[in-house]
Structure 1
Amino acid sequence: MKMTDYAPGTPCWVDLGTSDMEGSKAFYGGLFGWNAEISDDPATGGYGMFLLDGVPAAGVMPLMSPEQPVAWSTYVSVTDSEATAAKIEASGGKVLVAPMDVTDVGRMAVFVDPGGAAFGTWQPGTFPGAGVVNEPGSLCWDELATRDAATAKAFYPAVFGWGAETNPMGEDMEYTEWKLGGRDVGGMMEMDDKNFPPEVPPHWAVYFATADCQASADKVAKLGGSVTVPPTEIPVGTFAVCQDPQGAFFSLIQLSEERAAQSGGAAA
């Protein structure tokens, strides 16, 4: 699905902070067929775009400091970065990177929610976000993993106007779908000690669509990454959790025909 704009409150972009730009370009290029286009403008700090068939699918940038973890980040589209930042602080979140202009393409900021998960906001200028979603090799879902779902259910609706629909998922677990205007824009699951070791911090996970989860997981291993959760059947399809050679986690998902027909991705 091609995208030209995003309703405010919709996850619109993901990018990778990496310790090895060339290694990341080779890995994701081999996995998803992405081509990397790195800006030579000093103002962008070496930021690059991963392109799928010439269309921006995700971003990539070198780490800004030794303390920054290698990780994927999720950005939510907003109309007013400063007003959103004020809501975040009033609702118990913290500012990590204050709203700042990124040339003329938009205005970005980075925050941490009350549970400790980092996320960004994007106020579009000339660039609205991912130009393709919900197709193999592109973003299709963003999911909060938190140890305090109750607080998250208060925080994100206050900031972005999301609704929250929670249903049972397997034994002793629940899954929440974030809603905006009646549409799914993301998910949330509460972290437990059985599935998430104590050292795993709360985070926003990113899911990329694939036409064949098993084949893509096999390719991850061949390219030097690892598969931490092998392809597993879930109600909406088959998913796997992977780690790239530099250590960033991401997920693959092969949506069922029924789910794919609903265009149920977070970014759509």
Structure 2
Amino acid sequence: MKLMKPVPGGPCWAELSTPDVPGAQAFYAAVFGWRSETDPRPEAGGYTTARIGEDAVAALTPAYRPDQPPSWTVSFATEDADASAEAVRSAGGTVLMGPMDVFDQGRFAVAADPSGAAFGLWQARAFPGAGRFNSPGSLGWTELRTPDPQGALAFYPAVFGWTVEASEHFTHWGVDGAAFGGLKEQSPDEAEETGPHWLPYFTVTDTETTAAMALSAGGEQLAPPRHVPGGPWVAVVRDPRGAGFGLRTP
């Protein structure tokens, strides 16, 4: 990812929704070395911030709904969450939650593109988002997996103003040309199994070693480590509760 900090339109945060926050704390500590801090305020609902050193890198939260499957959500920075929510609706998407204020930290909404892939909108106030990108244990890439790539290519630039760089094999999303993520077309089987979604990739020093650590900690391999020609090493795994995420070694 060519972005080194949150900027308007770019990814700024990744958040795991899970029915087992303590289990997630143990798993991701084993895989990434995350140190977790749970907000003690009752109104925070058990919101837990994961850190590398003093930098916030992700969040672990109880599921918002009892029927919500464990999953990661990627949030994108905006200067006006309400305006971005309206842009989502105008482009054919759906606003699922908010916008709402989160203490003095910022203003937040959850939306979905026309295919159903969910993502967050974050208008920063006291909290700008992740304190680091691209270093071990932090967000290093994002990937939209959808059965409707053409619809996504119309929707996201309309909402965020993203630039698109397409080649024979890859389509990259960018902010003013700075690539931060990609687009992958789902097969019908994958779309039925996992649904359209945004997949966060976390940077690691060695994809093969970290994938093995994830399996030893109770995770499951979805896509084995492989080298993208001319690019990074990548793998995709699930945590013990079934939330999928990627590993990436630049």
TM score, norm. by length of structure 1: 0.89
User: C-alpha distance in 1, partners of 2:110/2:191?
Assistant: 25
Q: Which residue of 2 aligns with 1:201?
A: 195
- Contact 1:77–1:121 (Cα < 8 Å) also in 2: yes
Q: Which residue of 1 aligns with 2:82?
A: 82
Q: Which residue of 1 aligns with 2:96?
A: 96
Give the SS at the match of 2:192: coil
Superposed CA deviations along residues 36-87 of structure 1, whole A, max 9, x for unmatched, are 0000112221101001112101011011211211001000000111111111
- Contact 1:55–1:132 (Cα < 8 Å) also in 2: yes
- Contact 2:8–2:78 (Cα < 8 Å) also in 1: yes
User: C-alpha distance in 1, partners of 2:191/2:128?
Assistant: 36
5 Å matches for 1:1-268? 6-169=6-169, 175-193=170-188, 196=190, 198-235=192-229, 236-255=231-250
After TM superposition, where is structure 1 displaced by more than 3 Å over at least 4 residues in a row?
Answer: none
- Contact 2:5–2:132 (Cα < 8 Å) also in 1: no
User: C-alpha distance in 2, partners of 1:61/1:7?
Assistant: 24
Superposed CA deviations along residues 79-124 of structure 1, whole A, max 9, x for unmatched, are 1111111111010000100200000011110001001100010000
Letter of the 1:33 partner, please give it: G
Give the SS at the match of 2:72: strand
- Contact 1:5–1:128 (Cα < 8 Å) also in 2: no
Letter of the 1:191 partner, please give it: Q
Give the SS at the match of 1:8: coil
**Following TM superposition, by how much is the alpha carbon of 1:166 offset from its aligned partner in structure 2, in angstroms?**
1.4
**Following TM superposition, by how much is the alpha carbon of 1:200 offset from its aligned partner in structure 2, in angstroms?**
2.2
User: C-alpha distance in 1, partners of 2:17/2:64?
Assistant: 8
Number of equivalenced pairs: 248
Matched residues, percent identical?
42
